[in-house]
Amino acid sequence: MSKADSSESFTFSASVIWIRDGVLIDRMPLNALAFAYCYQAILLKQIHTNPHHTGLRTIPSISTLTNFALAKSGISCADKAGAFGDSAMDDDTANQVASLYNQLCAVAGSQCQYFPGAIELLKDLQQAGVQNFISSALEQEVLDHWLTSEQGLALAPHLAEVLGKREAFAKGKEHFAHVAKLTRRQTPQPILYVADARQEILQAKSCQTSFNLFIVGFAHCLKKEKFARADELILTSIKGHRHLIESPLGVYLNKEAGQADQQGALLDLNVLEIPADNGLADAGADLLVEGAGSEIFNLLRQKLQACS
């Protein structure tokens, strides 16, 4: 979509809500692995520092925790930690895991890249009069800080607003209502919602009529090699930053996890359970875009133009 024809070639919607991680930025493997490492590190810390944790116990492996995170993709890190439900963990565990996750992802996530064509598509949509929003389960202050980073600044000029978790304002219904209120017109056009997780599609489907949503399933082909690269990035990030070395990730994880877990702390690619792409269509996506990371935004562009 060029400047010359962008306003004529996209008339389908007045606004698009994007998921940042996994749709705009290629970092789904990183997020799942970061949850796994942070959860395991906090559990090890509690076992080693809390008097009531006595005796030997089984530590969930990085692979087990990564599979769980992939299955629960679309919800916040704190909610994932609570849902995993290790009964021996402290009451504040979910918050501790989320805090550590934010620290790790601030470093490792900055090394991830936008999908090719992502920034260009948002720019062209903006020029066509479409408002772009990001919806995320992350705390608003985390997203606000990200917007000032090099990565965030590359996209910021093409965004109407970045929506995170605030008081009584969370990803899902509240975000949809907010965008609907801001972009309502006399002749209502659908709000496009582009998401890559089954849970996100199901959540949108439950209130699709209320907010006139058109749900796009973003199914980029996840390869196990991406998880291997993300694993290396996480370990490099921990070793290369003092605040992470001094965190439970550095103090407990690398030193203790191999002894605590017979499966070891290292990621086992052979047991990864990558969600099937057809799960997005089964969850109720109105449009499914499938493809490799290098081509999926071109495919998305073509399909959205065809709808106009």
* Residue whose entry in the numeric block shows the structure tokens 């489907």: 205
Asked whether the beta carbons of 217 and 296 are under 8 A apart, the reply is no
Residue 293 is part of which domain span?
Answer: 6-26+114-222+275-307
Verify that 202 and 290 share a domain, yes or no: yes
Q: Kindly report the CATH number assigned to the domain that includes residue 125.
A: 3.40.50.1000
Asked whether the beta carbons of 130 and 16 are under 8 A apart, the reply is yes
Sheet of 131-139, strands arranged across: 161-165, 131-139, 15-19, 191-195, 213-220, 287-291
Asked whether the beta carbons of 33 and 39 are under 8 A apart, the reply is no
Among 137, 157, 132, CA closest to 21: 137
Verify that 244 and 302 share a domain, yes or no: no
* Residue whose entry in the numeric block shows the structure tokens 């109407």: 160
Indicate the SS3 state at residue 287. strand
| Stated pTM of the model | 0.91
The tally of domains found in the chain comes to: 2
Would you write out the chain's pLDDT as a tens digit for each of its 308 residues?
344 344 456 667 889 999 999 999 999 999 999 999 999 999 888 888 876 655 546 788 899 999 999 999 999 999 999 999 765 566 688 999 999 999 999 999 999 999 999 999 999 999 999 999 999 999 999 999 999 999 999 999 999 999 999 999 999 999 999 999 998 755 578 999 999 999 999 999 999 999 999 999 999 888 899 999 999 999 999 999 999 999 999 998 755 444 444 334 578 899 999 887 668 989 999 999 999 999 999 999 999 988 87
Is residue 15 within a helix (H) or strand (E), and if so which, with residue range? strand 15-19
Verify that 212 and 126 share a domain, yes or no: yes
Verify that 196 and 296 share a domain, yes or no: yes
